[in-house]
Amino acid sequence: MQRRGFLKLAGAGMVGAGFPVIARGAAPPDHTLRIGTGLVEVGHQRFLSMTTYNGAFPGPLLRLKEGRQVIVDIHNDTDTPEQLHWHGQRIPVSVDGAAEEGTPYIPAHGMRRLSYVPGPAGLRFYHTHLRAGADLQMGQYSGQVGPVYIEPASEPGAYDREVFLTLKEFEPFFSQGGDMAMDFMSPSEPDPDLKRQGEAEMRASLAKGMKKGFEVGYRVFTVNGRQLGFGEPIRVQRGERVLFHVLNGSASETRSLALPGHTFKVVALDGNPVPHPADVPVLWFGTAERISAVVEMNDPGVWVLGDLADDDRRDGMGIVVEYAGAKGKPQWRKPPLLRWDYRRFADPARRVQAPDRTIDMLFQKGNAAEQGFNRWTINGKAFDMEHMAADWQLERGKRYRLRMRNASDDIHPMHLHRHSFELTNIAGQPTAGVLKDVAMLGGYQTMEVDFTADQPGLSLFHCHMQLHMDFGFMGLFETT
């Protein structure tokens, strides 16, 4: 791992001199976002106070055009300087929306005008990028999440209608029981060395009398900000092909989604068309992942499109799909079991070129090491906001492979800013052709992803779980 001296972001000259002044007579913005606190009705007469964009949850769907410059005004009506991150886009540091990279803050009770060229095409999103730490009102625990759809020059696939869904939990609380391990991924075999190492560390800390670190749970579950049964159903016609664009806007949860009697043809992951669209009965999403899937409406009725977790669905994680003319109570049926495997959508014929360099990363959990919170490290180092330094130096235009090794039993949705990466190996199994910007790394497993360093400046790399990134699970690439 290469290290450089501390970067003085403010003085480095790469972020410009604060936020731009808008000249009189300047063009009006294409979009305006206003960060503020308000009430959102998530269930009948059930109002939650949260920070939102434009007073609603989710934030407005922004439709942008690939390659066509956009002007966005962001007003911050709160007392806290904000960052708005354009997740999944290849854009400069000055607008990406991460203080760690050097993006200027949107001042409290101030505004910033952004201007950039959107891309790549497909389903992206925007969200706050502040640290929450132990404050469950902050960061992505709040209502600061909204979808972005970047229209491609030519629209692929055949469908009759688009439906955008944002999955998001509210009313978070801390618990100390340890999270339930989830077993839905394929390949499912753990790496024996990683498992031995992680379990030994856990035993050692528990033997010292330490409890398990805090986890976050939720009381309210919503699709598009509404609990199951509240608000309008998705109304469909028999024979219609509905293209669902689904975003897991959670701060920390893995989500699933099924529609009884129907299958999803997955056409894009994280907005990027997959080489091999395939039919699945269930969708699985790590935090910040997106799936675009076409459902042929060919089983009339009134159905629950919902999460497989019974408790979470009962607490609201679902939405009703109602065929024209159908009546009765919404029906739920458990879907057939099928493990989630990114390789199902891969290109079996593609050969991956060798990278110019492979970067090894070991992820470890320090059980309850930081005031009761788990501390997360990459190659032994927890990210330190006070002393930021680039962890890896990259050469522009070169191709890199990240070899990630997870010495914990948690699933980590690993995210790289300002780039898309190609999945090249999952738990020892080679794969190719699936492009993503977040990918779930299984407990005690390995994953390899390749990318070309084509974005000058700093790019943040982190686990997308708020609780993990806030307690060390981040690193910085610097491309020159």
Instruction: Give the residues lining the site for Cu ion (CB under 5 A).
Output: 412, 463, 465, 468
Instruction: Extract the tokens encoding 223.
Output: 């699709």
Residue 5 or 380 with smaller CB distance to Cu ion: 380
3-state class of 55 per DSSP?
A: coil
Q: Residue 71 CB, nearest distance to Cu ion (Å)?
A: 35
3-state class of 93 per DSSP?
A: helix
Measure Cα distances from 237 to 153, 258, 324 in Å: 29, 19, 6
CB 31 within 8 A of CB 115: no
> Nearest-CA neighbor of 465 among 254, 181, 270, 313?
254
> Nearest-CA neighbor of 71 among 121, 117, 126, 120?
117
Q: Residue 412 CB, nearest distance to Cu ion (Å)?
A: 3
Residue 401 or 468 with smaller CB distance to Cu ion: 468
Q: Residue 189 CB, nearest distance to Cu ion (Å)?
A: 20
Q: Are β-strands 421-426 and 435-436 bridged in parallel, bridged antiparallel, or unpaired? A: antiparallel
Residue 359 or 463 with smaller CB distance to Cu ion: 463
CB 447 within 8 A of CB 423: yes
Count of beta carbons in the 10 Å neighbourhood of residue 229: 15
Calpha distance 226→319 (Å, rounded): 8
CB 458 within 8 A of CB 100: yes
Instruction: Extract the tokens encoding 139.
Output: 């960061």
CB 436 within 8 A of CB 274: no
Residue 305 or 463 with smaller CB distance to Cu ion: 463
Q: Residue 405 CB, nearest distance to Cu ion (Å)?
A: 14
Query: Look-up: residue for tokens 């010292």?
Result: 208
Q: Residue 252 CB, nearest distance to Cu ion (Å)?
A: 9
Residue 58 or 413 with smaller CB distance to Cu ion: 413
295 residue type, one letter: V
Q: Residue 253 CB, nearest distance to Cu ion (Å)?
A: 12
Instruction: Extract the tokens encoding 202.
Output: 């856990």
Count of beta carbons in the 10 Å neighbourhood of residue 433: 18
Instruction: Extract the tokens encoding 263.
Output: 């299958």
Q: Residue 45 CB, nearest distance to Cu ion (Å)?
A: 36
Residue 216 or 453 with smaller CB distance to Cu ion: 216
Residue 253 or 448 with smaller CB distance to Cu ion: 253
Q: Residue 410 CB, nearest distance to Cu ion (Å)?
A: 6
Residue 294 or 460 with smaller CB distance to Cu ion: 460
Residue 399 or 412 with smaller CB distance to Cu ion: 412
Q: Residue 120 CB, nearest distance to Cu ion (Å)?
A: 25
Calpha distance 433→347 (Å, rounded): 5
